[in-house]
Structure 1
């Protein structure tokens, strides 16, 4: 079932234009500075706003510091960067929200470029540290030259959001527009989920240069480079069945068909290299693996649409109309029949020698395509029924 959309009726606090939300877990060293700069920004620019500290279970007195400075403290029991931000955004009253870390890595006195873009009508305004400035010591070399560029490139390749810095922690957005995305991740991948879903739902996105400063904490950051980097990459892959399943599957099937076409009649000689039945067997395995991967791509996409994780897709809708259960069953049965026919032919050849010993290479050139076609046909039949089950769920949703 698709979740209900948040309506404009919920905007019952229009006197509050901007909510500045900061997740917090033991940030006593830097929290006062962040809140003070945010308050100074609101006062200087005459912005009607509030500051929300989404506390994730601090034990260092961060809550008292925030309250003394006039910020609203929201207690979030479920641990995680995304969990804290979701709780803070849900409690926010502003038409717009700017989220920022509470470690003094961003100057919250200079938020006007983000707010100006929000006022122009953009739904999501991302900070871009690479077009802005990264102060010495503000970002580890691993993040600056490998992690962020690679993950941002993958994000742009998969989802085309039109931004360069996929993971900047300083960003602003229209509160209702983001609530309507129904973000659900609890960890650091929340930052990626926001951009991915905003892109899927055709929200207007832009970015502004920002400056990243070394954080003011003496303790180590909560971010773990390899763990959180993998979580971001895993999230990007799971939200793109095309790149996770479809494109690899097409490559495998194409290579497998090419190999089988070249080798089914006999060995292939390239210079001093002889390519024979062992490569033929690998070609069959490639076709089987690729077929399964392609079927997973369509099934995963349909499941994600049913679950409300991805928006409706015209390609899936066309497939539902033209690739009916009956059509796929016919294709699958014909493929199985072709494979079975090859098996029967091999049995006939066996009978010609009174079921005695056979030439292995000759029989493999018949049986490998036979087994491959039979298995592919079975895969098509299974996929057809599974696809129809998912389609029934869609129609009843």
Structure 2
């Protein structure tokens, strides 16, 4: 009986009833005819050797070199994905996968699909996303360009760890495994190479259990250049990391500018600061400090609005700080604070005009009045920024309010109200 069962697994390991599949080995594909057969062969051999009920799934992104026929001829399942892009291909494959777990990897023979035990073990033990780490497992000579190895990947991985407190050391490894249901729940959206970052970041924000295993990277077997474009795709990764963290994109730079500007403005408001016999900070530095404050306030307001909108739409998970923010800010409160700031600035400005009038509007040999003018204008600009930001906050709330009112309006319409 055991021999019969083993024979069945060997002959039908990739064609069992979908409900029984444990693992899908997923490969995005765009003109990979040179290496696809090798990758599928290794993946099939792994499933058979490990006795795992699974499938090899090729998410084809419009190949014109016969990759689809190669895959089908080797017993893999092919799902066409018309929308172009690395992320789009993987999203199509994830949606079509039948396995409870999915292990994804590039079809260029740079990853060894015959050595997946570490991924499967971690997934079976409860990990929901298992990342490969090429820096721990080893990068063979010629497998990764020096710019990627020593700058791009380390810098972007460091930013990811700093922004999102994720322990992964290699954010962009193409070989990773995950619980299919949990990743589908994340509703991933990006269609380009930044999909690799989105999966990790969204998994971390959702509280998924993320683990790493060492992975070896070898030179790919293709004769053509890779699809990856260093600067374009690096920027897309960085842009995604920044857009998903308003705190680091807006709030921290804004508070830094505000803090430095306030310190300089406070020191210089009552007169110049003599640093040494040849260097003095005076009105020009005070003016620059006020510009720093205005810019910093604008950045902080962007961060507050971004975080508020992310909470309204569910893009980012709630935190104690965001809960306080949701309770504390409103269009009315921001508009009131902005009005107070505006009229305080106008008061300084009028005081400066009166003081200048007492001098018959003549030359100003003392910088006291210009300082008051600059301070007043700074407060006026900040007040205007705050006032219009308050109404932008109200605009952001409109879809949410409309959605909440929709059931009520629907009932009223049905009742003829």
Q: After TM superposition, is the score higher than 0.5?
A: yes
Provide the residue aligned with 1:330 in structure 2.
336
SS at match of 2:83: coil
Higher relative contact order (CA 8 A, sep 6+): 1
Q: How does 1:295-306 map to 2 (within 5 A)?
A: 295-306=301-312
Candidates 254, 264, 270, aligned match of 1:249: 254
Provide the residue aligned with 1:263 in structure 2.
268
Instruction: Judging by fraction of residues, say which structure has more helix.
Output: 2
Q: How does 1:150-169 map to 2 (within 5 A)?
A: 150-169=155-174
Count of residue pairs the alignment pairs up: 386
SS at match of 1:29: coil
SS at match of 2:24: strand
Matched, 1:364 2:351: no
Question: 1:360 Cα deviation (Å)?
Answer: 6.7
Q: 1:376 to 1:384 in 2, by over 3 A?
A: same
Provide the residue aligned with 1:149 in structure 2.
154
Provide the residue aligned with 1:171 in structure 2.
176
Matched, 1:282 2:326: no
Asked if the contact 2:139/2:218 (under 8 Å) is kept, the reply is yes
Q: Distance in 2 between matches of 1:220 and 1:306?
A: 43
Asked if the contact 1:320/1:391 (under 8 Å) is kept, the reply is no
Provide the residue aligned with 1:379 in structure 2.
385
Question: 1:278 Cα deviation (Å)?
Answer: 0.7
Candidates 206, 221, 245, aligned match of 1:216: 221
Stretches of structure 1 lacking an aligned partner (at least 5 in a row): 1-11
Q: Distance in 2 between matches of 1:391 and 1:204?
A: 33
Asked if the contact 1:306/1:393 (under 8 Å) is kept, the reply is no
Give 1 or 2 for the bigger CA radius of gyration.
2
Matched, 1:38 2:43: yes
SS at match of 2:280: strand
Asked if the contact 2:308/2:325 (under 8 Å) is kept, the reply is no
Q: Distance in 2 between matches of 1:62 and 1:323?
A: 55
Deviations 1:18-65 (A, max 9, x none): 111100011000000000000000000110001111111111111110
Q: Distance in 2 between matches of 1:227 and 1:329?
A: 41
Q: Distance in 1 between matches of 2:402 and 2:256?
A: 35
Matched, 1:349 2:355: yes
Asked if the contact 2:330/2:393 (under 8 Å) is kept, the reply is no
Provide the residue aligned with 1:8 in structure 2.
none
Provide the residue aligned with 2:94 in structure 1.
89
SS at match of 1:309: coil
Q: Distance in 2 between matches of 1:309 and 1:203?
A: 16
Provide the residue aligned with 1:54 in structure 2.
59
Question: 1:391 Cα deviation (Å)?
Answer: 4.1
Candidates 179, 189, 197, aligned match of 1:192: 197
SS at match of 2:57: strand
Give the root-mean-square deviation of aligned CA atoms: 1.6
TM-score, normalised by the number of residues in structure 2? 0.89
Question: 1:305 Cα deviation (Å)?
Answer: 3.4
